[in-house]
C-alpha cells in the first residue's frame, strides 16, 4: 500500500473540508472577476453577460482534455497509477472511516439523488414558466434532461465496476465511471445558480455562487468517502458535467444576447 494513500485516507475528513474551502475560494474569485468585467461592460454601454464565448471555449477545451486524460488513465487493460490510487484509497477508506461518520455522509449524499433533483427541477421549470421566462425555462429543461442520457451513455461506454463496500448505508447499482451524482449535481446546482443570477439582485449573487459550489463539492466528495465511487469517477463526472453546463449556459447567454439585439 502506498503510504501517501494511507495518509490521505486517515485524514479524509480534514482533506474534504480543505477541498471544500479551496473550492469556495476559487468560486468566489471567479465571481469577483466576472462581476468586475460586467461592471466594466455596463460602464462602456455594452450588455453584461455571464459567460463570454472565449472563456466558454477555453473551459470546454480544458474540461474535454481533463475528461479524456482521466478516462484514458482508468480504461486501459493495464492498471495505471490513477487506477491503483483509486483502488488503494477505496480500500483504506473502507477500513479507516467509522460507521457513524459514514452514516452522516450517507444523509448528505442524497442531495444529488434523482428523487430530489427531478422534482425540484420540475418545480423550478414550472415557476419559470409561470413568470414567463420562456427561454430560461427552455434551457433549464434541456440542461436537466441531458443528465441521464449523457452520463448513462458514458457509463455504458466504459463499464467500470464500482468499488466494494459493506457498510450498507448506500447501495448503488450500475456502472461506476463517471459518477452520476457528480455529473448531475454540477449541472443541477450550476444551472440553478445561473437561473438565480439572472433573476436575483446582484447583492445575492455571491451567496448563490458559494451555495452552489458547496453543494456540488459535498455531493461529489461524499461519493468517494462512501466508497460507491472511485476518486477518478467523481473527477470525471465533474469534468463531463461541467462541460455540459458550460454548453447550456453558453446557449442561454447567446439566446439572451440575440433577444436583446432584436429589441426595438
Say yes or no to pLDDT of 1 above 60.
no
Choose the weakest-confidence range: 74-78, 191-195, 259-263.
259-263
- Left (φ > 0), alpha (ψ -120 to 50) or beta: where does 165 sit? beta
Q: Cα dist. 216→34, 222, 234, 252 in Å?
A: 20, 10, 11, 21
Q: Going by C-beta distance under 8 Å and a sequence separation of 6 or more, which residues neighbour residue 27? A: 209, 210, 212, 213
Cα 17 to the center of its chain, rounded Å: 17
Please write the tens of the pLDDT for every residue from 134-193.
Answer: 999 999 999 999 999 999 999 999 888 888 766 566 777 778 899 999 999 999 999 999
In the chain the beta strands, taken as DSSP E runs, fall at none
10 has a pLDDT exceeding 90: no
C-alpha cell at 237: 463526472
Residue pair 31/205 in contact (Cβ under 8 Å)? The answer is: yes
Peptide bond into 178 cis (omega under 30): yes
Report the C-alpha gap between 174 and 244 in whole angstroms: 22
Could you tell me the pTM of the whole model? 0.90
What is the rounded end-to-end Cα distance, in angstroms, of the chain?
A: 68
Average pLDDT over residues 7-22: 81
Mean local confidence (pLDDT), 67-86: 78
- pLDDT tier, 76 (very low <50, low <70, confident <90, very high otherwise): low
pLDDT-wise least confident of 19-33, 89-103, 197-211, 214-228? 89-103
Give the DSSP letter string of 98-137: -HHHHHHHHHHGGGG-HHHHHHHHHHHHHHHHHTT-HHHH
Mean pLDDT value of segment 234-245? 95
State the average pLDDT for the chain. Answer: 85
Label residues 208-239 b or e (16+ Cβ within 10 Å = b).
bbbbbbbbbbbbbbbbbbbbbbbbbbbbbbbb
Amino acid at each position: 500500500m502506498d503510504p501517501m494513500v494511507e495518509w490521505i485516507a486517515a485524514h479524509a475528513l480534514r482533506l474534504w473540508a480543505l477541498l471544500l474551502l479551496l473550492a469556495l475560494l476559487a468560486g468566489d474569485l471567479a465571481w469577483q472577476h466576472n462581476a468586475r468585467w460586467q461592471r466594466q461592460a455596463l460602464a462602456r454601454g455594452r450588455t453584461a453577460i455571464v459567460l463570454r464565448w472565449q472563456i466558454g471555449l477555453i473551459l470546454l477545451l480544458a474540461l474535454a482534455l481533463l475528461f479524456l486524460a482521466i478516462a484514458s488513465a482508468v480504461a486501459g487493460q493495464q492498471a495505471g497509477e490513477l487506477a491503483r490510487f483509486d483502488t488503494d484509497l477505496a480500500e483504506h477508506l473502507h477500513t479507516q472511516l467509522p460507521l457513524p461518520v459514514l452514516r452522516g455522509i450517507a444523509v448528505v449524499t442524497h442531495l444529488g439523488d434523482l428523487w430530489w433533483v427531478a422534482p425540484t427541477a420540475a418545480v423550478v421549470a414550472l415557476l419559470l414558466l409561470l413568470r414567463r421566462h420562456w427561454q430560461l425555462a427552455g434551457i433549464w429543461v434541456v440542461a436537466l434532461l441531458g443528465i441521464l442520457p449523457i452520463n448513462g451513455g458514458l457509463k455504458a461506454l466504459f463499464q467500470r465496476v464500482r468499488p466494494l463496500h459493506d457498510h450498507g448505508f448506500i447501495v448503488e447499482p450500475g456502472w461506476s465511471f463517471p459518477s452520476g451524482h457528480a455529473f448531475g449535481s454540477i449541472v443541477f446546482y450550476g444551472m440553478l445558480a445561473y437561473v438565480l443570477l439572472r433573476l436575483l439582485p446582484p447583492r445575492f449573487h455571491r451567496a448563490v455562487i458559494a451555495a452552489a459550489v458547496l453543494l456540488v463539492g459535498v455531493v461529489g466528495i461524499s461519493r468517494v468517502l462512501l466508497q460507491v465511487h472511485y476518486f477518478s469517477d467523481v473527477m470525471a463526472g465533474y469534468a463531463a458535467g461541467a462541460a455540459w453546463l458550460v454548453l447550456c449556459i453558453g446557449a442561454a447567454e447567446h439566446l439572451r444576447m440575440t433577444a436583446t439585439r432584436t429589441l426595438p
